[in-house]
């Protein structure tokens, strides 16, 4: 098992800034962290190399988006069929994510839809997959938000890289 990469308070500030706006400039982040732009660039590069930062994601403003409903789809699956079910769900249109979970259900997916009819279509498509035992769907009428200020990451080491 690989050791967890070490991060400190400054790394967390960088991560929170990037979560709020992935296009934040290193200059603005450096000013907020009170260190040089070069130090921010080095820390960013190190976090990419160690896998703390793996990429960026586009989150659209759903108020103006065509797809107005977010579905939360929870599936109880027969043992051994989870991977095949996940792969089938990923092929459905407008799937935001789909992964294994532990708890009452075995698989969770988030899907965007335009209408109530599409909810039935998605439910029926998933029901047809071999190994699906039960499906529970919940829909959101509000926007999805992510709150970078509530990042659940603590410094792993008191490091001074800046």
Q: Are residues 13 and 53 in the same domain?
A: yes
In a domain? residue 4? no
CATH code assigned at 91:
3.30.70.920
Q: Are residues 135 and 110 in the same domain?
A: yes
Beta bridge partners of 111: 71, 95
CATH code assigned at 24:
1.10.10.10
Structure tokens at 93: 């249109």
Q: What are phi and psi of 10, to 5 degrees?
A: -65, -45
Q: Are residues 81 and 42 in the same domain?
A: no
Q: Are residues 20 and 75 in the same domain?
A: no
The tally of domains found in the chain comes to 2
Measured CA to CA, the distance from residue 125 to residue 144 in angstroms comes to 24
Q: Are residues 54 and 73 in the same domain?
A: no
Per-residue confidence of the chain (162 residues) as pLDDT tens digits?
Answer: 567 778 898 998 898 888 888 888 999 999 999 999 999 999 999 988 888 887 766 555 444 444 467 889 999 999 999 999 999 999 998 898 999 999 999 999 998 888 878 889 999 999 999 999 999 998 866 555 555 555 555 666 544 444
Q: Are residues 84 and 40 in the same domain?
A: no
Give me the helix-helix angle, 26-33 and 37-49, nearest 10°.
Answer: 110
Structure tokens at 114: 């335009």
Q: Give every CB contact of residue 62 below 8 A, 6+ residues apart in sequence.
A: 68, 70, 143, 144
In a domain? residue 147? no
Q: Which domain holds residue 20?
A: 9-58
Helix boundaries (H) for the chain: 9-20, 26-33, 37-49, 82-90, 116-127
Q: Are residues 92 and 127 in the same domain?
A: yes
Q: Are residues 134 and 73 in the same domain?
A: yes
In a domain? residue 154? no
For residue 122, the tally of other CB atoms under 10 A from its CB is 22
């Amino acid at each position: 098992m690989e050791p967890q990469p070490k991060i400190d308070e400054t790394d967390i500030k960088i991560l929170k800034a990037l979560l709020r706006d992935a296009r934040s400039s290193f200059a603005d982040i450096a000013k907020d962290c009170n260190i040089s732009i070069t130090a921010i660039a080095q820390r960013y590069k190190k976090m990419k190399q160690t896998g703390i930062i793996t990429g960026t994601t586009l989150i659209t403003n759903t108020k103006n988006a065509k797809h107005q409903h977010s579905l939360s789809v929870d599936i109880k699956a027969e043992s051994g069929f989870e991977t095949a079910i996940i792969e089938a769900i990923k092929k459905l249109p407008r799937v935001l994510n789909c992964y294994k979970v532990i708890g009452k259900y075995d698989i969770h997916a988030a899907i965007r839809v335009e209408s109530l009819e599409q909810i039935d279509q998605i439910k029926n498509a998933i029901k047809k997959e071999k190994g699906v035992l039960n499906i529970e769907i919940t829909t959101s009428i509000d926007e999805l938000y992510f709150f970078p200020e509530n990042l659940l990451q603590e410094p792993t080491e008191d490091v001074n890289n800046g």
